[in-house]
Amino acid sequence: MRSVCIAGNWKMNMSPSEGRAFAKALVEALKDATVRVVVAPPYVTIAPVAEALSGSRITVGAQNMSDNLSGAFTGEVSAPMLKEAGASVVILGHSERRALYGETDEFINRKVRLALAQGLDVILCVGETLAERESGKLEHVLATQTAGGLKDVTSRDMSRVIIAYEPVWAIGTGKTATPEDANAAHAFIRGEIAKLYGKAVAESLIIQYGGSVKPSNVKDLMAMEHIDGALVGGASLTVEQFAPIVRYNIG
């Protein structure tokens, strides 16, 4: 049995004080949760959130990271800084970073390797646009982004990698992939991992689904064989929505 991980990507929401208060409320609401939970605040909110979550089972992630360790890189934040602030995971290759900030597979791969070398776990995001899906390029895009993002990542380090399948057309749109479509994409990604790393690594890899996950659709998604968690955007910003998503398997 693969383990399950539910992560909340707060995107550019939650100031330090808002994040701290929200994190305290989450600790209360998720006391009985049984799955791994990660929340990823904006950079400046990581430290107060990590402090509010200390002693709880909820861990903290970052939404991005520099591809360098230190130096003259104005506006950037390094892996060691994220760790010191309290992050243990970093989301890399999110489609918003690919589309809005021009991040390529090669650039994302540099960050993936650096994060792993610095002791951060990685959530690597992959996913197709609607145009790519409609023109029959789904598998090509998933294969390229998966292999490109993981180039030179060792089998051993793969135990610290999660892949998030996020179809771009389902992000923030209210349109969710059907559980069957999402499962097919996840199965394809798992097959690509098996080609690169063998069956054992592929079978134990956590693949999250992301794109308009809500309390009302999480159970059907999580019931699918290859869906091992969720990367939640909008619905991770309130206790009312995020708690039932994390507690999908409890009552």
Task: Note the residues at the interface with ligand 13P (CB under 6 A).
Answer: 9, 94, 166, 171-172, 210-213, 231-235
d(CA 126, CA 152): 17
Q: For residues 24 and 249, is the Cβ–Cβ distance under 8 A?
A: no
Q: For ligand 13P, which residue has the nearest CB? A: 233
**Which helix (H) or strand (E) covers residue 82, if one does?**
helix 79-85
Tokens of 139: 């598998």
Question: Which one is catalytic: 96, 103, 166, 192?
Answer: 166
Nearer to ligand 13P, 146 or 197 (CB): 146
Nearer to ligand 13P, 103 or 166 (CB): 166
Nearer to ligand 13P, 197 or 230 (CB): 230
Q: What is the smallest separation between the CB atom of 26 and ligand 13P, expressed in angstroms?
A: 17
Question: Which one is catalytic: 94, 96, 128, 192?
Answer: 94
Q: What is the smallest separation between the CB atom of 7 and ligand 13P, expressed in angstroms?
A: 8
Tokens of 99: 């589309």
Q: What is the smallest separation between the CB atom of 249 and ligand 13P, expressed in angstroms?
A: 19
d(CA 194, CA 73): 37
Nearer to ligand 13P, 193 or 232 (CB): 232
β-strand 161-165 against 58-62: which pairing, if any? unpaired
Dmax (CA) for the chain in angstroms is: 51
Q: What is the smallest separation between the CB atom of 55 and ligand 13P, expressed in angstroms?
A: 27
Q: Check if 96 is active-site.
A: no
Q: For residues 165 and 209, is the Cβ–Cβ distance under 8 A?
A: yes
The SS3 assignment for 20 reads helix
Q: Check if 94 is active-site.
A: yes
Active site residues: 94, 166
